[in-house]
Structure 1
């Protein structure tokens, strides 16, 4: 059975409408598919307290305690991948930038999803060019239609760093530091 999906807003809730051959119409409220899921990362910042990638999917936001955020080491193209655990439809990804300072480090982010965690085999959800600011929240919509059949979602900085007044950014190095990554969608 072929199905067509459409995204709409209703009473401050995001709904995904599914239309199929033997099915006229139904709506499902999307949820955070990333909460508590397994996370893999390109690197981990080697100095405590930034040691736990699961901080990016623990549901905590709006804090000034740097020990509660996720942070990669300094590298050209840092990334974070969330294993959703089951096939999913992804509507959008919300990035909660760090509230403890250094918000400008979030820039040129691309979000991809797919049934493989291999970057080149994933489909693009959307991008955030930035740069961001400390404590900002960015919603990256997956275009006019949600991503279908997704097992993995990756957040990756895809351009060398533009910052010139910080020694850590030498040679274009970046760091991905986030309070939370929310993947809104539904399991199929």
Structure 2
């Protein structure tokens, strides 16, 4: 991967090779995020990821044709990306890998700069089309989890302890055995 963290044809199909600098650059460079597959159900991942991103200051636009015209978290829901009044910076794909191809094509047409496919969602052909159109692509990652990991919200064992890393006590002998 080049030092600036950009994804090339060589690395586009290997999400394990995304550098922290690359992911930080993507997350710091976007302000508006369209969440395709948005849900109003608070136990669904798309709902709590959307809420988390909104609470972090991102402008969120829920996309779900079944909920179009309604609101989620007080935000108007649109049927598709083509219905948006302005292009989002990023499209967060909460659809399966096969459906991610069509969503990616809509993101390209809508003028998005980033396509982010959620955990378990990977479509190499769609990623290649997006990259050829000049978009940045992230696959098989969750922006909520990446923000938490990159900015210190998740502790050593994957738990938010609400303690800053610099103020955390050293692990005990018992704890060290667990990790």
Q: TM-score, normalised by structure 2?
A: 0.28
Task: State TM-score, norm by structure 1.
Answer: 0.27
